[in-house]
């Protein structure tokens, strides 16, 4: 039967990380692996969904109020003028908004720049459209973008660059200088920018999210994608959007209608209530995640991990293995699940660049197997249970003795 599969289907393989996911389930491990909250959604948002179901919003639906509100928000937060009637496509989560954007803009053979490490789904969408992902390496340990090198990745075939800030898996928020360099490169090379801003409201300390589209000359070449998923702890509701120049937004809408027709009707209704949440809601989201970040950082440092980079946004810590740990990231996570009963994600799945092709020494290439991603979008009870379990697997210095 395999021969009946399409070329694309054959190239999409389950990642080795999925095996660890199964191991975690078998061991009933505490889940610090996946990026979805295990605590309830805000009551006012849940009530709006229940009320929409009770009001029989059961059919295909486009809730224009979402677009009206997003346009207002874009003006307030980023100074952008967005026409709610023409420039927004409501989709099933950022994932569909991103896929539809790729299908709306990428032809066979077009190159798309991505920053490495990267969230895993971008590459698959680009490949399905026949595009070629080209990775721009972010340098560890602070995941800095080498501004001089950036231009060297562009070729005559570069059609778009993907920017995810705040960033999964590192927690990096791209700096103003980095954004200006990316914007400058896009303008010079007449290149589109596709942004993934799902963590736009989850930033820490004094960091605040800046949308690339708000830089001079960028709105007319940027497609912003985002969703309700992370801001309102409703990753299963599947409501997201793309905001783009009218002609691109219209193409995204057409593709969305052909694939899914519309996002879930009752959850679109609830999205309206969610997006209209008070400023206090967004502030407390930030504050609560910051406390969780600090708790997990302390836990991981205490367990012997090397934290070179304190997350500035999103809800992940990308921690380096202890200095003298001989295990790879995959081996370490496997032991962490078996011995401590805690699951995390080995970092290797987020790296895509063959570093030997860049002429890096063997020693410099090893970092791709030395990072583990911990998700802290979990209840305080889950986080303290993880701390307790890890505490049972420590040596006299308080460090994890998994190796």
CA distance 164 to 200: 10
Burial status of residue 132 (CB atoms within 10 A of its CB: 0-12, 13-18, 19 or more): middle
Segment near ligand PLP (CB under 6 A), from 5-13, 91-99, 106-114, 376-384?
A: 91-99
Report the residue number, 164 or 368, with the smaller CB distance to ligand PLP.
164
Residue holding tokens 């997201």? Answer: 240
C-beta contacts of 251-255 below 8 A and 24+ residues apart: 251/104, 251/105, 252/89, 252/91, 252/97, 252/100, 252/101, 252/104, 252/223, 253/89, 255/100, 255/103, 255/104
Residue 353 within binding range of ligand PLP, rule CB under 6 A = no
Half-sphere exposure of 395 (CA within 13 A, CB side): 7
Minimum Å distance from CB 245 to ligand PLP?
Answer: 22
Task: List the interface residues with ligand PLP, window 291-350 (CB under 6 A).
Answer: none
Report the residue number, 200 or 341, with the smaller CB distance to ligand PLP.
200
Residue 94 within binding range of ligand PLP, rule CB under 6 A = yes
Report the residue number, 133 or 304, with the smaller CB distance to ligand PLP.
133
Report the residue number, 136 or 198, with the smaller CB distance to ligand PLP.
198
Residue 116 within binding range of ligand PLP, rule CB under 6 A = no
Can you name the residues that pair with 373 across neighbouring β-strands? 318, 345
Residue 35 within binding range of ligand PLP, rule CB under 6 A = yes
Tokens of 371: 């990072």
Considering only 21, 95, 165, 219, the residue that binds ligand PLP (CB under 6 A) is: 95
Minimum Å distance from CB 365 to ligand PLP?
Answer: 25
> Applying CB under 6 A, what is the total number of residues that bind ligand PLP?
13
CB 340 within 8 A of CB 400: yes
Task: List the interface residues with ligand PLP, window 119-148 (CB under 6 A).
Answer: 119
Residue 268 within binding range of ligand PLP, rule CB under 6 A = no
Tokens of 157: 């075939």
CA distance 375 to 42: 20
Task: List the interface residues with ligand PLP, window 211-230 (CB under 6 A).
Answer: 227, 229
3-state DSSP: the chain helix, strand, coil percent, rounded to 5?
45, 15, 40
Residue 93 within binding range of ligand PLP, rule CB under 6 A = yes
Can you name the residues that pair with 342 across neighbouring β-strands? 30
3-state secondary structure string, 264-317? CHHHHHHHHHHHCCCHHHHHHHHHHHHHHHHHHHHHHHHCCCECCCCCCECCEE
For residue 69, the tally of other CB atoms under 10 A from its CB is: 18
Report the residue number, 325 or 348, with the smaller CB distance to ligand PLP.
348
Segment near ligand PLP (CB under 6 A), from 90-98, 171-179, 255-263, 276-284?
A: 90-98
Per-residue binder mask for ligand PLP (CB under 6 A), 168-197, x = binder: x---------------------------x-
For residue 373, the tally of other CB atoms under 10 A from its CB is: 26
**Residue among 261, 371, 390 at smallest CA distance from 318:** 371
Considering only 131, 133, 240, 264, the residue that binds ligand PLP (CB under 6 A) is: 240
Segment near ligand PLP (CB under 6 A), from 87-95, 151-159, 274-282, 339-347?
A: 87-95
Minimum Å distance from CB 167 to ligand PLP?
Answer: 7
Task: List the interface residues with ligand PLP, window 153-172 (CB under 6 A).
Answer: 164, 168
Minimum Å distance from CB 198 to ligand PLP?
Answer: 4
Report the residue number, 196 or 320, with the smaller CB distance to ligand PLP.
196
Binding-site ranges for ligand PLP (CB under 6 A): 35, 93-95, 119, 164, 168, 196, 198, 227, 229, 235, 240
């Amino acid at each position: 039967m395999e021969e009946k599969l399409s070329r694309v289907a054959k190239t999409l393989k389950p990642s080795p990380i999925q095996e660890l996911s199964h191991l975690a389930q078998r061991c009933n491990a505490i889940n610090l692996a996946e990026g979805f909250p295990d605590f309830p959604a805000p009551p006012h948002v849940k009530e709006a969904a229940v009320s929409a179901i009770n009001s029989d919003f059961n059919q295909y639906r486009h809730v224009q109020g979402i677009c009206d509100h997003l346009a207002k928000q874009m003006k307030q937060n980023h100074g952008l003028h967005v026409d709610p009637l023409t420039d927004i496509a409501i989709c099933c989560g950022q994932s569909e908004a991103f896929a539809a954007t790729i299908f709306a803009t990428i032809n066979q053979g077009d190159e798309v720049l991505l920053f490495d490490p990267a969230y895993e789904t971008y590459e698959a969408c680009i490949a399905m459209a026949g595009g070629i992902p080209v990775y721009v390496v972010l340098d560890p340990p602070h995941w800095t973008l080498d501004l001089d090198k950036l231009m060297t990745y562009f070729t005559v075939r570069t059609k778009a660059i993907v920017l995810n800030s705040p960033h999964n898996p590192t927690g990096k928020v791209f700096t103003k200088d980095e954004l200006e360099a990316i914007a400058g490169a896009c303008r010079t090379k007449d290149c589109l920018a596709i942004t993934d801003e799902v963590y736009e409201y989850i930033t820490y300390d004094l960091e605040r999210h800046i949308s690339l589209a708000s830089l001079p000359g960028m709105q007319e070449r940027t497609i912003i994608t985002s969703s309700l998923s992370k801001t309102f702890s409703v990753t299963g509701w599947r409501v997201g959007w793309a905001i783009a120049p009218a002609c691109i937004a219209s193409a995204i809408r057409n593709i969305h209608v052909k694939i899914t027709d519309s996002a879930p009707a009752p959850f679109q209704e609830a999205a309206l209530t969610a997006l209209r949440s008070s400023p206090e809601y967004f502030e407390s989201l930030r504050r609560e995640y910051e406390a969780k970040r600090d708790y997990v950082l302390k836990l991981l440092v205490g367990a012997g991990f090397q934290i070179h980079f304190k997350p500035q946004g999103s809800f992940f810590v990308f921690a380096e293995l202890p200095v003298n740990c001989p295990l790879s990231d995959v081996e370490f996570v496997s032991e962490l699940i078996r011995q401590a009963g805690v699951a995390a994600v080995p970092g290797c799945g987020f790296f895509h660049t063959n570093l030997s092709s860049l002429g890096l020494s063997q020693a410099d290439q090893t970092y791709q197997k030395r990072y583990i991603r911990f998700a802290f979008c979990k209840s305080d009870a889950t986080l303290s249970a993880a701390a307790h379990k890890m505490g049972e697997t420590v040596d006299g210095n308080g460090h994890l003795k998994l190796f």
